[in-house]
């Protein structure tokens, strides 16, 4: 019996030693609070690239853009279903109506793809990869992001992708 008690003591001492030897973990220090920006704020080149203010600005801009697209799509779908020309007896009116609705559906499909790109950009903001090229990891640049907030490549990388797409399209 004394051997078992000693064995238990050794085990508990070992466990204690292992715990005491564990290295302290270093956690990221969270900002003091959410970063707030004014409605007139515009990112500046003098600020650190993709600082918290930039991320908040682009998150707000992308979110508002997405809401506008969804609202426009919903209105187009609702109003498109109420078109009376589809029932017209005139074959030319029916053809025009068909073409109009086809063009409208293509526009809606493009907007749906754009909403998907906005969602991807918002995900990149959460993952801290927004504003950096997916190919080269270089900064895309504020001017480009202001013009195209869903941009995922630098201009050089985008041109390379477009050339590759053209080559594949020509095949």
List the chain domain ranges: 35-170
pLDDT of 3 above 70: no
Q: Residue 94 has which token pair?
A: 């029916």
Global model pTM greater than 0.75:
no
Tell me the average pLDDT across 8-26.
46
Interval 70-113: pLDDT, tens: 999 998 888 766 555 556 678 888 888 889 888 888 999 999 99
Q: Give the length of the chain.
A: 171
- Identify the CA nearest to 142 among candidates 131, 152, 134, 153: 131
Lowest-pLDDT choice from 15-19, 64-68, 166-170: 15-19
pLDDT of 133 above 50: yes
Residues 35-170: name the CATH superfamily.
Answer: DksA, coiled-coil domain (1.20.120.910)
Whole-number pLDDT of residue 125: 97
59 falls in which pLDDT band (50, 70, 90)?
very high
154 falls in which pLDDT band (50, 70, 90)?
very high
**Distance between CA atoms of residues 100 and 92, nearest Å:** 12
Q: Residue 92 has which token pair?
A: 């030319």
35 falls in which pLDDT band (50, 70, 90)?
confident
Q: With b meaning 16 or more CB within 10 Å and e meaning fewer, what string describes 37-64?
A: eeeeeebeeeeeebeebbbbbbbebbee
Alpha carbon of residue 169 to chain centroid: 27
**Distance between CA atoms of residues 147 and 155, nearest Å:** 12
Query: 28's torsion region: left (phi>0), alpha (psi -120 to 50) or beta?
Result: beta
Q: Residue 90 has which token pair?
A: 């005139």
């Amino acid at each position: 019996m004394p051997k078992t008690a000693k064995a238990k003591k050794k085990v508990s001492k070992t466990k204690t030693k292992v715990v005491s030897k564990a290295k302290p973990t270093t956690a990221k220090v969270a900002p003091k609070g959410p970063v707030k920006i004014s409605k007139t704020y515009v990112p500046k080149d003098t600020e650190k690239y993709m600082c918290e203010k930039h991320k908040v600005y682009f998150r707000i801009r992308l979110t508002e853009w997405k809401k506008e697209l969804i609202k426009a799509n919903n209105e187009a779908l609702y109003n498109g279903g109420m078109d009376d020309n589809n029932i017209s007896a005139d074959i030319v009116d029916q053809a025009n109506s068909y073409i109009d609705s086809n063009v409208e559906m293509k526009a809606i499909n493009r907007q749906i793809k754009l909403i998907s790109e906005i969602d991807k950009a918002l995900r990149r903001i959460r993952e801290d990869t927004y504003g950096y090229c997916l190919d080269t990891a270089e900064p895309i640049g504020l001017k480009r992001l202001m013009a195209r907030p869903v941009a995922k490549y630098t201009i050089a990388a985008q041109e390379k992708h477009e050339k590759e797409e053209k080559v594949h399209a020509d095949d």
